[in-house]
Amino acid sequence: MYAANIVINLKGFLMIIDKKADWWNDAVSYLSDNDEVMKNIIDKHKDDYIKSRGEPFNALCRTIIGQQISVKAAASIWNKFELGTKIIDPKTIIKYGNDNIRSCGISNRKVEYIIGLSNFFIENPNVVNSWEAMDDTSVIKELCKLKGIGPWSAEMFLMFCLLRPDVLPLGDLGLRRAVGKNYLNTFDPTYEEVEKVAKKWIPYRSAATWFLWKSIDPIAVAY
Question: What integer pLDDT is reported at residue 19 of this predicted model?
Answer: 67
Query: What secondary structure does DSSP assign to 148-215, as a single string?
Result: T--HHHHHHHHHHTS--S----TT-HHHHHHHIIIIIS-SS--HHHHHHHHGGGTT-HHHHHHHHHHH
User: What is the value of pTM for the model shown?
Assistant: 0.83
Phi and psi at 5, nearest 5°, equal -95, 140
Contact 115, 126 (CB under 8 A): no
Instruction: Give tens-digit pLDDT for 4-23.
Output: 443 334 333 334 456 689 99
Question: What integer pLDDT is reported at residue 222 of this predicted model?
Answer: 65
Instruction: Give tens-digit pLDDT for 20-51.
Output: 899 999 999 999 999 999 999 999 998 889 88
Domain boundaries, the chain: 56-160
Instruction: Give tens-digit pLDDT for 122-162.
Output: 999 889 889 989 999 999 999 999 999 999 989 999 998 99
Distance CA 86, CA 170 (A): 34
In CATH, what number does 56-160 get?
1.10.340.30
Instruction: Give tens-digit pLDDT for 151-196.
Output: 998 999 999 899 999 999 999 999 999 999 999 999 889 999 999 9
Helix (H) or strand (E) holding 8: strand 2-8
